[in-house]
Amino acid sequence: MVAEYGALQYGRPFVFWFGPRPRLVVSGPEVAKAVLTDSTGTFRKGSGSNVNPLSRQPLGEGLVALTGEKWAHHRRVISPAFNMERIKVATQEGRVHTYSKQFLSEDDILSANFDFDF
């Protein structure tokens, strides 16, 4: 993968060329937030004619590629899903469900009639 190879070769962040256009690869939440929330236009998002058709196929018209009113609309639609309370509840419920599937119930153990040799 380009990101891992570039990070090992050049450190982070680094720039690579995707055809005729440079691409900045960042890591860490602080740097990513700074780039994604930049309103100066320094970091152009891949939208319209800037998007390589090959990258549009897997990425689609999502938040990463959108700007302006389309971005604002998509952001309003998905924002409630990332509410911290909802994430906490979903994570806790998911964890309980996962743990409960990993362990047999007490009834399963008692009805199994295991023979033990000590």
The string of pLDDT tens digits covering residues 2-60 is: 666 666 666 678 787 877 878 777 777 787 788 777 778 777 665 555 556 666 666 56
Say if 74 falls within a structural domain: yes
Say if 45 falls within a structural domain: no
Q: Note the pTM of the prediction, 2 decimals.
A: 0.41
Say if 56 falls within a structural domain: no
Other Cβ atoms closer than 10 A to 3: 14
pLDDT at 27: 73
Say if 12 falls within a structural domain: no
* Adjacent-strand bridge partners of 18: 21
Q: For 69-80, how does the pLDDT look when each residue is reduced to its tens digit (9 = 90+)?
A: 887 888 888 888
Q: For 92-105, how does the pLDDT look when each residue is reduced to its tens digit (9 = 90+)?
A: 666 666 666 666 56
Domain that holds residue 79: 63-108
Say if 98 falls within a structural domain: yes
* Burial readout 25-55 (b: 16 or more C-beta within 10 A, e: otherwise): ebeeeeeeeeeeeeeeeeeebbbeeeeeeee
